[in-house]
Homo-oligomer: A and B are copies of this chain.
Amino acid sequence: MAAASQHRYFAETIAIGSELLVGGRSDSNSLFIADTLASIGIKVRFKSIVGDDKSDIAHVLKTAGRRAGIVIMTGGLGPTVDDCTRESVASVTGFRLARHKEAFESMRARLAQWGRTPNKKQLRQALIPSTATVLPNPVGSASGFAIIWRGTHLIALPGVPSEMKAMMEQSVVPLLAEQLDRSKDARPHPITRLIFHTWGLPESDVDAKLKGLIPKRTPVALGLLASPTGVLVSLTTKEDGHLKKGTLTSLAEEVRARLGEWIYAEGQNSIEQVVGRLLREQGRTVSVAESCTGGLIGQRLTQVPGSSAYVDRVAVCYSNRAKMEMLGVSEKLLEDHGAVSQEVAAAMAKGMRERADVSVALSVTGIAGPGGGTENKPIGLVYIGLAGGGDDVVTKEFRFHGDRSVIRQRAAQAALDMLRRWLVSRGTT
């Protein structure tokens, strides 16, 4: 375990809810909490998940209280009998539950907005452990609370992500920052985490390119994380050790220099956001002709707010007839080369660009599996085309590994990256 002086800057999250244990959903709240706490120098070191069971919650809470200076619980603050976070906290800490005026009034006001009055069950939501600070809920009806127990901050928040997020930002961060300021210890350095998203290089190649990047005794950790959308590279400052001013900036510069064009985005940006920004800046428009990706590229491009400014249309042509009718691909081309071919990818992109009259058109045709593969055209074979004006049509062949979903994700990512590289090479019109 860490020394006492560090202990206060380590956090544990506890996600409460039986649906998180089996068959239901994974805990995503803790990722937001960890990112938010890192920004004020607090590192999440353990995460626990437990069902709606009073004694199990109590067990987890005791363990967390022993090893972390800050414990953030989410969930179990609702009005149903399942919700027993407040009772568990009361039983572990010995603080009695009492109806809290402020929590009650804010719940009543919130329900009144929705044209309702609190029922008997909902009244439980105003029960707060004595000595606790109430954390107002600007979005929903359940207040959160914070208490100090044996030197550890115990904080309880609702499990609804929008409520949890608002309360983290509006209440928890200011509260903890104030406590840190008051403490005799030196204020911890914010943990900085720089992220670089790459596409097109296997993890081992990214690793090789970054070899020896971090000089010895420099308190920065290099992380690599592979997924179907590429390899994520991270530089994270360590909470111990002194980082010289400018070190992180020059390490980031070095990452950019070594990985160059393979980096498609930094920070929280996705490739569809990067491509969207480039299209907007350049005043260009795009259309997409998809086959095996089935709408995934369109879905990703259009999930960016404001994308209607540059996305004109998407055609998902699953049948050969659709390829002919929607894109003008000739029957002969389909017969001669097959739907999954360089030639058809080129014709799809060209046909789409002409019909939609956009600056640039993308096309994808491939075999996502599990059926449809042959010896010559195996599962994972994908052709991507890009038509950018005149007779200028570029095509590229890919051979992806993975199941249907992974192949579709990789194909969509490859197509968006081809568009990104084309836009970067064109620059502003």
A residues whose Cβ falls under 8 Å from a Cβ of B:
1, 18-28, 30-31, 34-35, 38, 43-51, 53, 55-56, 59-60, 63, 67, 162, 193, 195, 221, 223, 225, 227, 232, 234, 236, 290, 293-299, 301-303, 305-308, 311-319, 321-322, 325-326, 355-356, 369-372, 403-405, 408
Q: In the bound complex, do residue B302 and residue A314 qualify as a contact, i.e. CB atoms below 8 Å apart?
A: no
Contact of A318 among B25, B313, B322 (CB under 8 A): B313
| A247-B23 Cα distance, complex, nearest whole Å | 22
Chain B residue contacts of A44, Cβ below 8 A:
21-22
| A27-B290 Cα distance, complex, nearest whole Å | 31
Q: In the bound complex, do residue B303 and residue A312 qualify as a contact, i.e. CB atoms below 8 Å apart?
A: no
Q: What is the copy number of this chain in the assembly?
A: 2
Closest B residue to A56 by beta carbon equals B45
Contact of A22 among B38, B295, B302 (CB under 8 A): B38
| A193-B19 Cα distance, complex, nearest whole Å | 12
A188 to chain B, nearest CB (A): 15
A185 to chain B, nearest CB (A): 21
Chain B residue contacts of A317, Cβ below 8 A:
313
| A318-B298 Cα distance, complex, nearest whole Å | 10
Q: In the bound complex, do residue A59 and residue B67 qualify as a contact, i.e. CB atoms below 8 Å apart?
A: yes
**5 pairs, CB–CB < 8 Å, chain A vs chain B:** A22-B38, A294-B301, A294-B307, A295-B299, A295-B302
Chain B residue contacts of A20, Cβ below 8 A:
47
Q: In the bound complex, do residue A46 and residue B60 qualify as a contact, i.e. CB atoms below 8 Å apart?
A: yes
Given A1-B59, A27-B26, A405-B303, do A295 and B319 touch, yes or no (CB 8 Å)?
no
Q: In the bound complex, do residue B298 and residue A356 qualify as a contact, i.e. CB atoms below 8 Å apart?
A: no
A334 to chain B, nearest CB (A): 14
Given A56-B46, A299-B296, do A19 and B313 touch, yes or no (CB 8 Å)?
no
Q: In the bound complex, do residue B25 and residue A225 qualify as a contact, i.e. CB atoms below 8 Å apart?
A: yes
